[in-house]
């Protein structure tokens, strides 16, 4: 009996050990923004803001981004242009930096503030200090966009467009098309897209 228990335990353990290690699920389409009242530090003005505060009358765009990832940098100007443009069209926007600055040295509050000024961002670029917002969204990389419609439901999740490297060779403007649709009260044609990106630098668990 004891042997049987040990064997069962071993079989169970073996299966558990072979289970997929990483299965963090991103927020499902149709979901409301999680952690919408979590206070996010805005280095530009030293205040805090929540996703609920940033909510726009036509919808809300949340983009996880950072200062140093080559993909985030390649898309940065397009992210800022889309943010500034659609903020005027009723979309609330918040850009979130969730990287642990002890790992990602370019993502300190001072450097986030500087980037906000350099890029002339009209929208807040804030810090998810304890990474609860990124985790609740199931965000895993930068840049990664989540667009909520007027009713507050997730209606687009994914990348910016299909060519980070050459802006003039983009053929699918995923995020722009989704913003255009949502700001006109319509559903986006493409709802989930992917690109390579830099893994968010989560704090190391000791």
Partner 1 sequence: MRGLSFALVALLFGGIAEAAPKIVPARLETVLGAIRKPGARAVLVNVWATWCEPCREEMPDIVRAYRAHKARGLRLVLVSSDDEEKQAEAEKFLASQGVDVDSFLKVGDDNDFINGLEPRWSGALPASFLYDGRGHLLAFWQRPITHRELTAKLTEALKRRNK
CA atoms of 109 and 10, how far apart (whole Å) = 48
Applying CB under 8 A, does 110 fall inside the site for partner 1?
no
Applying CB under 8 A, does 206 fall inside the site for partner 1?
no
Applying CB under 8 A, does 65 fall inside the site for partner 1?
no
Q: Are 201 and 103 in contact (CB under 8 A)?
A: yes
Kindly state the smallest distance separating residue 143's Cβ from partner 1, in Å: 11
Applying CB under 8 A, does 141 fall inside the site for partner 1?
yes
Nearer to partner 1, 51 or 198 (CB): 198
Applying CB under 8 A, does 197 fall inside the site for partner 1?
yes
Each residue 6-35 as x (binds partner 1 by CB under 8 A) or -, in order, gives --------x--xxxxxxxxxx---------
CA separation, residue 11 to residues 4, 16, 19, 21 (Å): 10, 9, 12, 18
Residue of 46, 196, 205, 206 that binds partner 1 (CB under 8 A)? 196
Mapping DSSP to helix (H, G, I), strand (E, B) and coil, where does residue 49 land?
strand
CA atoms of 188 and 191, how far apart (whole Å) = 6
- Residue 38 burial (CB count, 10 A): 18
Chain contacts with partner 1 (rule: CB under 8 A): 14, 17-26, 70, 140-141, 144, 159, 162, 165, 193-202
């Amino acid at each position: 009996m004891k042997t049987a228990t040990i064997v069962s335990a071993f079989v169970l353990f073996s299966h558990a050990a072979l289970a997929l290690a990483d299965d963090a699920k991103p927020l499902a389409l149709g979901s409301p923004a999680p952690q919408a009242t979590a206070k996010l530090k805005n280095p530009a003005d030293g205040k805090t803001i929540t996703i609920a505060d940033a909510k726009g009358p036509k919808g809300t765009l949340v983009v996880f981004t950072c200062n140093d990832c080559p993909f985030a940098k390649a898309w940065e100007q397009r992210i800022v242009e889309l943010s500034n443009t659609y903020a005027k069209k009723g979309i609330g926007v918040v850009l979130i930096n969730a990287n642990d600055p002890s790992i990602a040295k370019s993502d300190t509050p001072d450097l986030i503030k500087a980037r906000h000024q350099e890029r002339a961002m009209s929208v807040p670029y804030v810090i998810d200090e304890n990474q609860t917002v990124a985790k609740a969204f199931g965000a895993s990389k930068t840049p990664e966009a989540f667009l909520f419609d007027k009713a507050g439901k997730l209606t687009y999740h994914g990348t910016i467009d299909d060519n980070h490297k050459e802006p003039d060779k983009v053929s699918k403007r995923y995020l722009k098309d989704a913003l255009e649709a949502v700001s006109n009260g319509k559903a986006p044609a493409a709802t989930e897209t992917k690109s390579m990106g830099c893994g968010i630098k989560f704090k190391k668990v000791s």
